[in-house]
Amino acid sequence: MSAASPSLTDRDIAAIAARITRPVVLVGLMGVGKSTVGRKLAALLGRDFIDADDAIAAAAGRTIPEIFETFGEAHFRDGERRVIARLIDEGHGVIATGGGAFVDPATRAKVLDKAIAVWIDCDVDTLVERTARRANRPLLKQGNPHEILSRLARERAPFYAEAPIRVVSETGPHAGTARAIIKAIDEWL
């Protein structure tokens, strides 16, 4: 589904929000806009928003790059799995996950069972442009960002495709993507 702004009235959105009884969990590669779109989505739905990476950093008392550098990716993924499970159990409205979270079988199973998984997809060139703006992407420090993101997109697509909802994030206002997600959730419910 494209992120072209579906025409939804405030009343339509409120009616859809009333039918959403589980957290909405946003999955996809780094740079697709999970956090930015997630904040807008939560505001439209009248729900709270939480970024799993922020919750992980708060729980660990370290930044994500520090966790990766000090303890490695496997340790980070273990903590990520536990934090995301806790956030789902706490019933947060919209949860943005890190790019690799949905690849973990236990995390993916929990999200698919207890939440509404939404895959935000985007073309690699746009991802390269968006991720270049921030220096806190540990996986992109290991080589050419375009090559790394292309590889991650190929490797992770089969996992992301297990999400029942897929929306393409295009350039333009994030409100359009948030509204496309609401429309897709409505059609899925």
- pLDDT confidence of residue 24: 98
pTM over 0.85: yes
Mean predicted confidence (pLDDT) in 28-47: 94
Tell me, yes or no, whether 63 lies in a domain: yes
pLDDT tens digits, 102-148: 999 999 999 999 999 999 999 988 888 877 655 555 555 666 778 88
Tell me, yes or no, whether 4 lies in a domain: no
Tell me, yes or no, whether 125 lies in a domain: yes
Tell me, yes or no, whether 156 lies in a domain: yes
**Burial state string for 76-111 with b = 16 or more CB within 10 A and e = fewer than 16:** bbebbbebbeebbeeebbbbbbbbbbbbbeebbebb
CATH number at residue 155: 3.40.50.300
Domain count of the chain?
1
Tell me, yes or no, whether 31 lies in a domain: yes
Mean predicted confidence (pLDDT) in 148-176: 90
Tell me, yes or no, whether 25 lies in a domain: yes
Answer whether residue 33 shows pLDDT above 70.
yes
Range of the domain at 119: 10-188
Answer whether residue 90 shows pLDDT above 60.
yes
Tell me, yes or no, whether 1 lies in a domain: no
pLDDT tens digits, 61-72: 999 889 988 998
Tell me, yes or no, whether 3 lies in a domain: no
